[in-house]
A and B are shown apart, each in its own frame.
Chain A
């Protein structure tokens, strides 16, 4: 998939030229080098990392809240990130003129920080509620309410913002794997790696949470501490992805279901790396489809993730249930 991502794109580049580029050999057309190294390679890496991160983040949320509909975006985490980004892009920028006019790199950093702070605040609220109420429904509903509240705040900000900033924000909101320049890839990869490493360390607590709070405590889990770390890790992963790629819809919700169906287990020692892999793969597939040859400009990634993800989840569920009936 990764290779396909490098091979396919709106400009067709022969396989040999791609290989030569990657190995630093002489290439016929210098624009090929630019396209592959400056565009396709960072894009493929970004897609892979984002997919892996969202898959794992979604899995953790579904396990923690014991709700198959939970996901980073459902709980308002992404909305928190959006609000943070909106504040920076649309509001803070006003006194200093257009945000778009501000330097590209420092702007990217402030977007990242804003998204992270925004989603952390939402996660903190959710975690407080989670320790107070023993009802997933309440937490889920409040999460959705937070999402509505933040999006209306975003709406107000949009109403009063400059045209160029608004456009930049709307485009950011459509999500893209192509916004991470090669120079920032390492930062992105590092943050994602930290999040994924933390998630691997949380495998045992995640498994215990599957049994519900009471059994988890009785089996020796410090649920408060574990819940806190699961939320922090999810926050880090979601915020990282949202900051670098915009709010990527649906992957976080769909990937754990795909992984569970493929691997036929609920053991996080398998399902967590499974979600990581499935997430990376699905994101790469979506990325290819978004930039299929023949289409001049890339489609927004959010449209593709939902279009691809939804039928896959439905198909897997239907297949699984018909198998059950045959049993």
Chain B
């Protein structure tokens, strides 16, 4: 278990206090838990990851790993407990993907870094898990950003540490790639009993995958909890809400309000209803749920997949949402 006791994070330059990002952080990370850290840019998420990885000293407080202060633990020992995959670009020429993953074995190799048979087995396995076995002989600097992220994740797996901290490991991946990595890391937590902490901006995925969320924003205390509770208590919404972005509690989505085209009353239920609502919002209507027709406000009713529009005492029927939207545009 890793505990943060009254930790201040940030940068100190002389007597300037503006570099302090967060004060008095008290958190814990347990084995077997998959934790996602979310929050806006500049909230100090990367700094927190570095601080609890032993890479950037806290300005105050202690970080204990099994009751041992990580900043008083020799790096060689810590390297077998915590591994990181950071966002900072690694610029290395002439190193193969295999070489990069082999770096994960450094804490276990001898004075000259010679890899044993066992090391090679672990490297192969890590390449396989991260889905990059086919890239093993490629040069690292010829890979795409997404592939590089996978290599760094494989490196962390090869390091075989109980704690793995990743700074935006899915940022450059395509959607299936993101899901694969989230699944892989959750497995590492659930099946192999590791403690995984990652930063992500994919809030939907974080809500669906994480055992626990850490919400972080500038100058606000860090909030933790299981995703569903944080959604229901609207804490996630409060963290991100801006004037034109609202977090929709019902579906755990962000909606982008562009109320330019007036109100529409929408009644009914089902999938067609939900997607019609989405389409109308996208087109800039303010969608109001209701079942009563009001004069001057378009009224849309959906039943059995059929879209019916009542406007100025006329009734129109549509089979597709596109037709509905076309007509609404004409009516305006």
Contact = CB atoms under 8 A, between A and B. Distances in A.
Contact of B103 (A208, A222, A265): A208
Contact of A222 (B75, B93, B109, B113): B75
Nearest to A223: B75
Contacts of A20: none
Interface in B159-196: 159
Interface stretch (A180-188, A212-220, A291-299): A212-220
B55 to A, nearest CB: 5
A188 B237 CA distance: 71
Nearest to A260: B94
Contact of B76 (A203, A210, A220): A220
A260 B54 CA distance: 33
A264 interface: yes
B92 interface: yes
A266 interface: yes
A219 B88 CA distance: 16
Interface residues of B, number: 32
A61 to B, nearest CB: 16
Given A217-B54, A264-B94, A212 B88 contact: yes
A221 interface: yes
A207 B88 CA distance: 18
B257 to A, nearest CB: 40
A201 B111 CA distance: 8
B50 A220 contact: no
Interface string A242-274: 000000000000000000100011110100000
Contacts of B74: 222
A218 B55 contact: yes
B79 A219 contact: yes
A269 B110 CA distance: 13
B103 A215 contact: yes
Contact of A217 (B75, B91, B99, B109): B75
A210 B74 CA distance: 21
Interface string B63-97: 00000000000111111101110101011111100
Contacts of A269: 112-113
Given A219-B107, A266-B93, A203 B78 contact: no
A322 B78 CA distance: 43
10 contacts: A203-B113, A204-B106, A204-B111, A204-B113, A218-B82, A220-B77, A260-B93, A264-B94, A265-B99, A267-B99
Given A203-B112, A217-B54, A219-B104, 17 more contacts: A201-B111, A204-B109, A204-B111, A211-B92, A212-B90, A218-B84, A219-B106, A220-B76, A220-B107, A221-B75, A221-B106, A222-B75, A222-B76, A265-B99, A267-B95, A267-B99, A269-B113
Interface of B: 50, 53-55, 74-80, 82-84, 86, 88, 90-95, 99, 103-104, 106-107, 109, 111-113, 159
